[in-house]
Amino acid sequence: MRKKHTSIGIAILGCGTVGGAAALALVKDKDLLERKTGLSLNLKYIVDKNFDNAVKLGLNRKLFESKLQTVLGDPAVSVVVELIGGTTVAKDVIEKALVAKKNVVTANKALLAHSGAALLSLARKNHVTLAFEASCGGGIPIIRALCDGMIANRIDALYGIVNGTCNYILTQMIGQGQSYQEALAGAQKAGLAEANPALDVSGTDSAHKLAILASLAFGEKINFDAIPVRGIDSLQSMDVEFGRQLGYVVKLLAMAVRLESGLYLCVHPVFISSGHPLAWIPGPFNAVSVYGHRTGHTMYYGRGAGGSPTASAIVSDIVSTALGTQKLLFRNLGIWGDRAKKAKQIPSGEIVSRFYLRFVVSDAAGVLAKIAAVLGRNGISIASVLQKEGVEGSGKQRGRVPVVITTHQAKEKNVRKALISLRTAKLALENPVCLHIVDEQEESF
């Protein structure tokens, strides 16, 4: 016996790219969703100040509402979907919705990274839920993997390519030999980068997602401001090419690793072995590798942005909120940010890693030996050296050659110290380039 379809009233706040796509999904897929979920999902309101996009998408004007209070006061609305973005208005709106005892679904990674625990706590106090599958990895059900499918695992590490704009730019730099500026311009032309791409290319957006994913993976409260973040905006084609020659692919990786002394979190452009699945991830796609103590390596792959994939995640959250599965998880699991203990986040200087170093040196005898000596004094041993014959430069470049060194495991603060010494001693004629090498190897079996 199947129950009569339960009717669920939904309000979408913010009708931009994602809000519009979510509204369209609810309207166009109503029958499909009813057949698959047994729920009658009824979009009752679209709340915004400006309905240009909603009109363009052909959404029913009867849904348009400019007063939030009308929506929050309507007892027929049980799920409020926040798709305004940002950390000011959106925060205020979510708080009001929770206090009004509405379940909230959101895609707002910036807000969750900063205030996730507080909002979850507010939801709990008001006996409603806060769901956020759409905040990370677009259409990839990665939040669910951490809260459900992988729940039997102690998560040991999580590596994510979680910003499609950056991955597209890097793919173009790697595959087409483009410079960062050329690749960025191409991404903007293809609609894959904002006119102001700062949030993406600086790594900040990836760090937002990392904070959310790591919190659930490890069941600990993450201090967003303590995550070291570097973007791809200073990356040079020369290093991409040297990486390739050494068997590495450069990726902007959001990393979270459980070490004995605590959690190591960072967002960096890194070199990853070309045999690792993450090295393969093309264009604007996203992927998250999760290492569980029972499963070993698992990976989740898909489109990390765009209205339609993100709408898939939003609707799946509306469904689990309406079915009540979200409530059961929220009530029982211990991994939620408002319940978790504070993570002990390891300062990046303490991290041990392999490194790729590129120096510009004068094309003279004995320079390499001197560099090696400085590295050695700082406890850094060399794994490989790549020095091409000097190419006759002109002007400022004359007599200068690049030297690439990969190191064995070394402490990051020792590397930094060595680099400063080398610069001070004018052995390095420019600021050295320093990238982590993430030794996730080809799968062993």
Residues annotated catalytic, as ranges: 209
Size of the site for a copy of itself (CB under 8 A): 70
Place of tokens 């600990």: 220
When asked if residue 302 is in the footprint of a copy of itself (CB under 8 A), the reply is yes
Using alpha carbons, select from 10, 23, 33, 215 the residue that is nearest to residue 103: 10
Q: For strands 64-65 and 39-47, give the pairing.
A: parallel
When asked if residue 277 is in the footprint of a copy of itself (CB under 8 A), the reply is yes
Q: Is 129 left (phi over 0), alpha (psi -120 to 50) or beta?
A: beta
Q: Whole-number minimum distance, CB 197 to a copy of itself, in Å?
A: 17
Helix (H, G, I), strand (E, B) or coil at 119: helix
When asked if residue 437 is in the footprint of a copy of itself (CB under 8 A), the reply is no
When asked if residue 335 is in the footprint of a copy of itself (CB under 8 A), the reply is yes
Please, are residues 263 and 100 in contact by the beta-carbon 8 Å criterion? no
Q: Whole-number minimum distance, CB 298 to a copy of itself, in Å?
A: 4
Element (H, E) at 236: none
Q: For Cα atoms 162, 164, 165, give the angle at the middle one, nearest 5 degrees.
A: 125
Please, are residues 408 and 381 in contact by the beta-carbon 8 Å criterion? yes
In the numeric block, which tokens belong to residue 342?
Answer: 């504070």
Stretch that binds a copy of itself, among 36-44, 90-98, 388-396, 420-428 (CB under 8 A): 36-44
When asked if residue 282 is in the footprint of a copy of itself (CB under 8 A), the reply is yes
Q: Whole-number minimum distance, CB 258 to a copy of itself, in Å?
A: 13
Q: Whole-number minimum distance, CB 311 to a copy of itself, in Å?
A: 6
Please, are residues 280 and 298 in contact by the beta-carbon 8 Å criterion? no
Q: Whole-number minimum distance, CB 381 to a copy of itself, in Å?
A: 31
| Residue from 4, 49, 62, 294 in contact with a copy of itself (CB under 8 A) | 294
When asked if residue 3 is in the footprint of a copy of itself (CB under 8 A), the reply is yes
| Residue from 90, 104, 117, 145 in contact with a copy of itself (CB under 8 A) | 145
In the numeric block, which tokens belong to residue 35?
Answer: 């057949």
**123: CB partners within 8 A, 6+ apart:** 98, 103, 104, 129, 130, 330
Instruction: Give the integer Cα–Cα distance in Å for 26 and 16.
Output: 15
When asked if residue 308 is in the footprint of a copy of itself (CB under 8 A), the reply is yes
75 or 334, CB closer to a copy of itself?
A: 334
| Residue from 7, 181, 234, 295 in contact with a copy of itself (CB under 8 A) | 295
Instruction: Give the integer Cα–Cα distance in Å for 100 and 127.
Output: 10
Instruction: Give the integer Cα–Cα distance in Å for 343 and 381.
Output: 32
Q: Whole-number minimum distance, CB 174 to a copy of itself, in Å?
A: 14
Instruction: Give the integer Cα–Cα distance in Å for 346 and 325.
Output: 35
| Residue from 334, 365, 369, 395 in contact with a copy of itself (CB under 8 A) | 334
27 or 386, CB closer to a copy of itself?
A: 27
When asked if residue 35 is in the footprint of a copy of itself (CB under 8 A), the reply is yes
4 or 62, CB closer to a copy of itself?
A: 4
Using alpha carbons, select from 247, 428, 263 the residue that is nearest to residue 344: 263
| Residue from 133, 200, 205, 440 in contact with a copy of itself (CB under 8 A) | 133
When asked if residue 140 is in the footprint of a copy of itself (CB under 8 A), the reply is yes
When asked if residue 57 is in the footprint of a copy of itself (CB under 8 A), the reply is no
Q: Whole-number minimum distance, CB 150 to a copy of itself, in Å?
A: 7
**435: CB partners within 8 A, 6+ apart:** 239, 243, 250, 268, 269, 270, 271, 355, 356
For residue 248, CA distances in Å to 30, 67, 177 come to 46, 53, 15
When asked if residue 443 is in the footprint of a copy of itself (CB under 8 A), the reply is yes
Q: What residues numbered 148-207 form the site for a copy of itself, per CB under 8 A? A: 148-154, 168, 190, 192
140 or 173, CB closer to a copy of itself?
A: 140
- Other Cβ atoms closer than 10 A to 246: 17
Instruction: Give the integer Cα–Cα distance in Å for 297 and 440.
Output: 10
Please, are residues 218 and 210 in contact by the beta-carbon 8 Å criterion? no
Q: Whole-number minimum distance, CB 219 to a copy of itself, in Å?
A: 6
Instruction: Give the integer Cα–Cα distance in Å for 270 and 246.
Output: 13
Using CB under 8 A, list all residues that contact a copy of itself: 2-3, 25, 29, 32-33, 35-39, 133, 138-141, 144-145, 148-154, 168, 190, 192, 219, 277, 280, 282-285, 292, 294-303, 308-309, 311-316, 319-320, 323-325, 328-329, 331-335, 339, 442-443, 445
